[in-house]
Structure 1
């Protein structure tokens, strides 16, 4: 069976993303054009536009399209901005960020995922302004500052260094808390935090809560 991906993309935007209060036309336009199926493993390609998380290996998953849409809208990226992505994963969000901002640096702890994402970005010609670096964001250091930081996996608590990488007017999107009830938030460089929605996604490697002993 041949899948009409452009039709599936259209339905995803109209039936999933828009009803979940994603109304930013730039974000909707990017999601309506972005070939999500190119970043999904062949075994899951038929589900590329379904309202589900998709496994990408190493215990990580692609977020549901609705969460991706809300995240991109919350960041409110401008064409002249520089973005840090923490957790490249499949490279799909990297490509979306690259369409909305001037430049993207994406950190990925797993070399295989970093290589695969790079290959997909190059194959689709969607990553000309995206640089992928294999690194553990929890131990990575940089003097560079960013207009926006996008964390694509959950943390128990937000690492303080993430906020230090923001420019004075910068903002950070992250999902924090304990499964099964986590909170997506937008944190600004001045420390103000806006609660966006509840969700439940996989933890960033090394950022899960310490197991609590039950007596």
Structure 2
């Protein structure tokens, strides 16, 4: 059976980054660096994406949540890893990026993956859970219990928290947390519910 690293490498070869970048950025697709997709958001550095996906270890048929889906490149990579027997929900708070990501997924021909606009005041997409795997491509100041609660038993969450990459497993006695190096990401933000002021930067 292929290792997680081999499966992720195959996914990244099958789902090129180019189709998930704005036209002005496509000449830079081979740069191992984050690239702007507008609205203060980025398409993450490929090395970082690869490392996160290896930690996540998505299995065929998994139900997966992609928080901060942006241009939906990670959503499509996750969909390749789950295969058509699985399902992937991307969640994005910027309406223009929701539309951009959704169009990119249609072009990629992966109908088992889709992008939803984030619900104000809510992290993730609890109505679609529980999930075997959750990927978060934005940095939280602390481990979000709201996302841990969306994992199924034995499920895995990978996200950066206060600069450290965490792999969180939902075990019977509570979450088991591993640290895997230092990273920099845009902050994880949940828009406030209607009628409430927006919070300050998350990190």
TM-score interval, smaller chain: 0.7 to 0.9
| In structure 1, C-alpha distance between the alignment counterparts of 2:121 and 2:181, rounded to whole Å | 24
**Contact persistence 1:138–1:159 (CA under 8 A):** no
TM-score by length of 2: 0.85
| 2:107 equivalent to 1:123 | yes
> 1:86 matched to which residue of 2?
67
Unaligned 5+ segments in structure 1 are: 1-21, 211-215
Aligned length: 184
Larger Rg: 1
**Contact persistence 2:188–2:202 (CA under 8 A):** no
Cα offsets for 1:127-163 (capped at 9, x unmatched) = 3110211114751543720001100111111211100
Cα offsets for 1:170-212 (capped at 9, x unmatched) = 01000010xxxx11110111311111121111112248447xx
> 2:133 matched to which residue of 1?
148
Cα offsets for 1:13-38 (capped at 9, x unmatched) = xxxxxxxxx97111011112212111
Unaligned 5+ segments in structure 2 are: 191-199
> 1:195 matched to which residue of 2?
179
> 2:142 matched to which residue of 1?
157
Matching residue within 90, 93, 100 for 2:81: 100
| In structure 1, C-alpha distance between the alignment counterparts of 2:149 and 2:58, rounded to whole Å | 19
Residue 46 of structure 1: CA displacement?
1.2
